[in-house]
Amino acid sequence: MAIDKFVNRHIGPRERDLEEMQRVIGVKSLDELIEQTVPSNIRLEKPLNLPNGLTERAYFKQIRKLAAKNKVFNTYIGMGYYDTITPAVIQRNILENPVWYTSYTPYQAEVSQGRLEALLNFQTMVCEMTAMDLANASLLDEATAAAEAMSLMYATRSRGKQKAGANVCFVDENVWPQTLDVLQTRAEPLGIELKVGDFSRDKIEENWFGAIVQYPNLKGEVEDYSNFTSRLHDNDCKISVASDLLALALITPPGEWDADVVFGSAQRFGVPMGYGGPSAAFFALKEDYKRYMPGRIIGVTKDATGKLALRMALQTREQHIKRERATSNICTAQALLATMAGMYAVYHGPEGIRGIADRAHSIGVLLAEEITKLGYKQENANFFDTIRISLPRHVKKEDIEWLSLDLEMNFRYFETGEVGLSIDETTNLEDINWILEVFAKAANKRIPVIDEIPENSIIDKQYGRKSEFLTQDVFNKYRSETEMARYIKRLEKKDISLVHSMISLGSCTMKLNAATEMIPLSWIEFNGIHPFVPKNQAMGYHEMMEELRRDLAEITGFDDISLMPNSGAAGEYTGLMVIREYHKSRGEGHRNVVLIPSSAHGTNPASAVMAGMKVVVVPCDENGNIDVEALRAKAEEHKDNLSAFMVTYPSTHGVFESAIVEMCDIIHKNGGQVYMDGANMNAQVGLTNPKRIGADVCHLNLHKTFAIPHGGGGPGVGPIGVAKHLVEFLPSHPVMNNGHVGLHAVSAAPWGSASVLPITYGYIKMLGADGLTQATKIAILNANYIASLLKDNYGILYTGEKGRVAHEMILECRHLKASAGVTEADIAKRLMDYGFHAPTLSFPVHGTLMVEPTESESKEELDRFVEAMNSIFSEIKEIEEGKADANDNVLKNAPHTAEVLMADDWKHGYSREKAAYALGWLRDNKFWVPVSRVDDAYGDRNLICTCEPLESYMEE
Ligand SMILES: *Cc1c(COP(=O)(O)O)cnc(C)c1O
């Protein structure tokens, strides 16, 4: 064995474990297991055509070389992306800290209190800056947030407007071009018409339901929308405002002039530009629309002992429940980046944020004055950080351009001839002098010298912010680095992550996120680049992305890949829109029926509806397989209008269905296209692929199969792969040529969340063809090993024809409810006492647990998990046999906090020791849960989503 092979670090089980694991499963070799699991008619005939894996050291050299090909210039382009200083204490303790980046979306509230508090801070910060009532814990980016705002205004339009068929959304011409482009994509399938115009001139029409404006706008101008807002409201229309959190420190927040929705990017709150992403979008609204909030909201509630606790609120809105009635498909969002932005506000506080805003503004004013002195004209009447300079006749734009590039600076060039400068947190005296040098030289004037930045403001009294913000305790406490680091650590200690124990969430593929894969994220050559700089400043990025696209095409069998979608669900939407364009191009635009199995993830039907399609549900048979005859009948019934079939493979039931080829065939024969949900790709890589199976499009969740960490609920990347006939429809970008010419944009940034792509790139380069295939085989081995050891106690709900599961399995728990009154949630909570995060609850089958171990877990860890599950099973038996009380037992009271266990008063019918140390190894490695079981219903009845009134809340 080559000791430095990365595959040996990525994969958990050792060579010596395989024999024992195979014996437990009842196979003689790994290949025998794979033969019993993956249908032979879909197996690849040849190994992946990818190079061998690099060692970690060799990869490091390669990625350093690529990084060196990116050039980090000072960039004043603005348009939604600004350089920012990530406080090092946040970079080191959050961005680079696996407790924060490897944790899961906080569904299991009791082991997620740290990140829940961080996200509550983010929501509070957004409410404070915007002066709105309620904010969510992030959306994918500003442009998709605009689309969510449009959908919300449409869904909540007044009855009069609904009856009148009002379907026009006004968009001011001065919103970011990428925002407008995404709005175009998203409006069309919903039957919404966009009217692009000038808010100050256009007459409000009868058929408008809402309007979207930008504040400050595309030109950098701070407009007064208060009049427009009241006129809209008089006409039963709503207004959504794209805004800039930093600007709102100085200008009147939209909540104070009665905006209905305020959204935007929180990037400049300490999240690097990353060549476009990831960063968190924020979304805030008036109390009245809280039931329509897209994405996730963190709320306050209490635990079983009455103690304050946090959890995700209003979970009934999730697509799982609403499915085809959902109006938004947000699942993975941008939790890690929202956490960072919230912490930026915690660290700087109101005076710090105001100081940063004042400084950027003052520099803008100073530059405007100095540049004017050189004979130019500054055009913006009211600006925050962006000035717009028109050139005197004798100055050529080209001169400004080469002079600035020569000094490693990027300016913005308006189509109308002006030059734009957006000032940010990083701009300093030296930069100011360089900027002035360019304008002076181009005008043939003497170069002025500036030696200080005077405080200065031109913000009109009428627009100046008068209200206070960030007055809550948390934003006024942690100013020294020591205090800040300890605050972050205090939150971190409350959470379970992958560095604590395996997180066996089915469908989520919580595998190793290797440190070598992660390190390049911290390099300025990757994270310090604005997405709209000339491509020759990002050659390293482009080389990496081209190779990555080629590798992903090889892995999926497809012809091309779009890296643009920022999550799996965004990929679903994009793929369906591509299919829609394809039908339209053939004169079959009427095809709008999509067949979706009942076992599908909730985002599937939600995405289909957003793409303007009609969902027809296909049932599963008693073995959990899609009912092929029902599929055939429905495909034939709808053959004139059949658009697509959405299928997850292997299925969400954890089985490689052998009829998959036949199913794809049925769809094609009836004129439809096959969309494969690639969430379960971890069971396919190297063994089979979507193309081989018969699909036309698939998305990949790079944050599942391809090693991007889950970040406590994002970032994600959801690229789609397509067969040749669909390549021409892949999404384009209005500002940068991203190589595709089809749909309008689906994300704000031309290459989506570019800065996390090196993680997947590294994963593929270091595993290589053999390692990737071996990872898949071991993922299947690990799942079948667990299934063999748990099947007698719990029962495995579905298996393939030869009795095998794929890379995950559903554990039956419903019989335990009948026999002992124990639910899958009780088991999940009791697992916390054993130091484990729960598997997936009640998806895709209610009352069950879905377990996916991944290849990264060692045999020892699998054994520990099995031991915990079987120990819990014997605790359930005690209830069944009457040895433990039906209500007062270790399961119903789980999880047990130290506070409860150490109280003088202990009234339970079991010992403290049994509650805390049910198995020997817990004494050595105990995770102390910070709160008792949280009360979801209480919090939903008393919805509180900011950290302001916590004390008063608990007194009620
Ligand atoms: C995770 C998942 C999705 C959604 O992907 P996101 O990246 O969270 O948007 C869709 N389908 C299945 C089966 C999944 O497991």
pLDDT at residue 955 is higher than 70: no
Which ligand 1 atom is at minimum distance from the Cα of 330?
Answer: 9
Query: Which DSSP string do the residues of 108-154 spell out, in sequence order?
Result: SGGGBHHHHHHHHHHHHHHHHHHT-SEE-S-BS-HHHHHHHHHHHHH
Taking only the tens place, the pLDDT of each residue in 456-514 is 999 988 899 999 999 999 999 999 999 999 999 999 999 999 999 999 999 999 999 99
Q: Which residues lie below 8 Å from residue 745, measured CB to CB, with a gap of 6+?
A: 143, 178, 181, 182, 185, 564, 731, 732, 733, 734
Ligand 1 binding pocket includes 242 (Cβ within 6 Å): no
* Helix pair angle (757-790, 56-68), 10° resolution: 150
- The Cα–Cα gap between 906 and 899 comes to 11
Q: Which residues lie below 8 Å from residue 722, measured CB to CB, with a gap of 6+?
A: 558, 559, 560, 561, 562, 575, 578, 696, 697, 729, 730
Taking only the tens place, the pLDDT of each residue in 376-385 is 999 999 999 9
Q: Which two tokens stand for residue 214?
A: 């930008």
- The Å distance, Cα 584 to ligand 1 centre, comes to 27
Sheet with 193-197: list strands edge to edge. Answer: 134-135, 281-285, 261-265, 238-244, 208-215, 168-172, 193-197
End-to-end CA, the chain = 65
Sheet with 673-678: list strands edge to edge. Answer: 560-562, 720-722, 697-700, 673-678, 642-648, 593-597, 614-618
Ligand 1 binding pocket includes 679 (Cβ within 6 Å): yes
pLDDT at 437: 98
Mutating to test ligand 1, I would choose from 107, 330, 332 the residue with most ligand atoms within 8 A of its C-beta, which is 332
Q: What angle do CA 201, 205, 208 make, to 5 degrees?
A: 110
Taking only the tens place, the pLDDT of each residue in 506-541 is 999 999 999 999 999 999 999 999 999 999 999 999
pLDDT at 322: 76
> Coil, helix or strand for 579?
helix
Taking only the tens place, the pLDDT of each residue in 410-457 is 999 999 999 999 999 999 999 999 999 999 999 999 999 999 999 999
What backbone phi and psi angles, to 5 degrees, belong to 229? Answer: -60, -45
Q: How would you write 300-316 as a 3-class SS string?
A: EEEECCCCEEEEEECHH
Taking only the tens place, the pLDDT of each residue in 722-736 is 999 999 999 999 999
- Reported as a pLDDT band with limits 50, 70 and 90, residue 102 is very high
- The Cα–Cα gap between 183 and 175 comes to 11
CA 558, 675, 317, 704: dihedral to nearest 10 degrees?
A: -30
Ligand 1 binding pocket includes 335 (Cβ within 6 Å): no
Q: Which of 512, 514, 498, 531 is nearest to 60 (CA)?
A: 514
Q: Which of 688, 638, 697 is nearest to 664 (CA)?
A: 697
106 preceded by cis ω (within 30°)?
A: no
Q: Which of 191, 385, 263, 757 is nearest to 749 (CA)?
A: 757
CA 822, 823, 829, 834: dihedral to nearest 10 degrees?
A: 60
Taking only the tens place, the pLDDT of each residue in 15-71 is 999 999 999 999 999 999 999 999 999 999 999 999 999 999 999 999 999 999 999
Mutating to test ligand 1, I would choose from 507, 596, 599, 841 the residue with most ligand atoms within 8 A of its C-beta, which is 507
- The Å distance, Cα 678 to ligand 1 centre, comes to 8
Q: What angle do CA 829, 834, 838 make, to 5 degrees?
A: 45
pLDDT at residue 682 is higher than 50: yes
**Do β-strands 673-678 and 642-648 pair in parallel, antiparallel, or remain unpaired?**
parallel
pLDDT at residue 148 is higher than 90: yes
- Which residues face 538 on adjacent strands? 70
Ligand 1 binding pocket includes 709 (Cβ within 6 Å): no
pLDDT at residue 320 is higher than 70: no
- Reported as a pLDDT band with limits 50, 70 and 90, residue 393 is very high
* Helix pair angle (757-790, 859-880), 10° resolution: 50
Nearest C-alpha to atom 8 of ligand 1 is from which residue?
332
| Contact between residue 793 and residue 870 where contact means Cβ atoms under 8 Å apart | yes
- The Å distance, Cα 404 to ligand 1 centre, comes to 44
Average confidence (pLDDT) over 336-342? 98
pLDDT at residue 954 is higher than 80: no
Average confidence (pLDDT) over 822-841? 97
Taking only the tens place, the pLDDT of each residue in 610-634 is 999 999 999 999 999 999 999 999 9
Ligand 1 binding pocket includes 652 (Cβ within 6 Å): yes
Which residue would you say has higher pLDDT here, 318 or 542?
A: 542
Which ligand 1 atom is at minimum distance from the Cα of 603?
Answer: 10
Question: Which amino acid is residue 543, in one-letter code?
Answer: E
Number of CB atoms found within 10 A of residue 272's CB? 27
- The Å distance, Cα 477 to ligand 1 centre, comes to 38
357 burial level (CB within 10 Å; 0-12, 13-18, 19+): buried
- The Å distance, Cα 331 to ligand 1 centre, comes to 7
Please, what's the largest Cα pairwise distance for the chain?
94
Q: Which of 628, 731, 719, 714 is nearest to 681 (CA)?
A: 719
In sign, the C-alpha dihedral spanning 42, 47, 52, 55 is positive
Q: What angle do CA 70, 73, 78 make, to 5 degrees?
A: 115
Q: What angle do CA 485, 487, 493 make, to 5 degrees?
A: 100
Which ligand 1 atom is at minimum distance from the Cα of 569?
Answer: 9
Q: Which of 313, 318, 686, 713 is nearest to 505 (CA)?
A: 713
Domains present along the chain, CATH in parentheses: 9-58+538-768 (3.40.640.10), 98-343 (3.40.640.10), 776-909 (3.90.1150.10)
- The Å distance, Cα 698 to ligand 1 centre, comes to 12
Residue 10 Cα distances to 13, 20, 496, 782, 792, angstroms: 10, 20, 21, 14, 30
Alpha carbon 263 to its chain centroid, in Å, reads 16
Q: Which residue has the tokens 């970032």?
A: 715
CA 596, 599, 602, 603: dihedral to nearest 10 degrees?
A: -50
Q: Which residues lie below 8 Å from residue 726, measured CB to CB, with a gap of 6+?
A: 578, 579, 582, 673, 696, 697
Ligand 1 binding pocket includes 331 (Cβ within 6 Å): yes
Question: What percent of the chain is predicted at pLDDT more than 90?
Answer: 95
- The Å distance, Cα 603 to ligand 1 centre, comes to 7
% helix, strand, coil for the chain, step of 5: 45, 15, 45
Nearest C-alpha to atom 11 of ligand 1 is from which residue?
601
Which residue would you say has higher pLDDT here, 524 or 318?
A: 524
* Helix pair angle (660-669, 628-637), 10° resolution: 10
Ligand 1 binding pocket includes 39 (Cβ within 6 Å): no
What backbone phi and psi angles, to 5 degrees, belong to 274? Answer: 60, 30
Which ligand 1 atom is at minimum distance from the Cα of 718?
Answer: 7
pLDDT at 547: 98
- Compute the mean pLDDT over every residue in the chain, rounded to the nearest whole number: 96
- The Cα–Cα gap between 407 and 439 comes to 12
Query: Which DSSP string do the residues of 275-300 spell out, in sequence order?
Result: GG----EEEEE-GGGGGG--S-EEEE
Number of CB atoms found within 10 A of residue 802's CB? 12
In sign, the C-alpha dihedral spanning 366, 367, 373, 376 is negative
What backbone phi and psi angles, to 5 degrees, belong to 302? Answer: -130, 165
Query: Which DSSP string do the residues of 673-723 spell out, in sequence order?
Result: EEEEEETTGGGTTTT--HHHHT-SEEEE-TTTTT----TTT------EEE-
Which ligand 1 atom is at minimum distance from the Cα of 716?
Answer: 7
| Contact between residue 291 and residue 326 where contact means Cβ atoms under 8 Å apart | no
Ligand 1 binding pocket includes 504 (Cβ within 6 Å): no
| Contact between residue 812 and residue 849 where contact means Cβ atoms under 8 Å apart | no
Q: Which residues lie below 8 Å from residue 552, measured CB to CB, with a gap of 6+?
A: 561, 700, 719, 721
Average confidence (pLDDT) over 90-119? 97
Radius of gyration of the chain (CA): 28
pLDDT at residue 212 is higher than 70: yes
**Do β-strands 697-700 and 673-678 pair in parallel, antiparallel, or remain unpaired?**
parallel
- The Cα–Cα gap between 648 and 599 comes to 9
Which ligand 1 atom is at minimum distance from the Cα of 329?
Answer: 9
Number of CB atoms found within 10 A of residue 449's CB? 9
Which ligand 1 atom is at minimum distance from the Cα of 571?
Answer: 9
Q: Which two tokens stand for residue 358?
A: 């004042």
| Contact between residue 301 and residue 934 where contact means Cβ atoms under 8 Å apart | yes
pLDDT at residue 1 is higher than 70: no
- The Å distance, Cα 320 to ligand 1 centre, comes to 11
pLDDT at 461: 82
pLDDT at 956: 44
pLDDT at 950: 56
Q: Which two tokens stand for residue 715?
A: 């970032």
Taking only the tens place, the pLDDT of each residue in 629-668 is 999 999 999 999 999 999 999 999 999 999 999 999 999 9
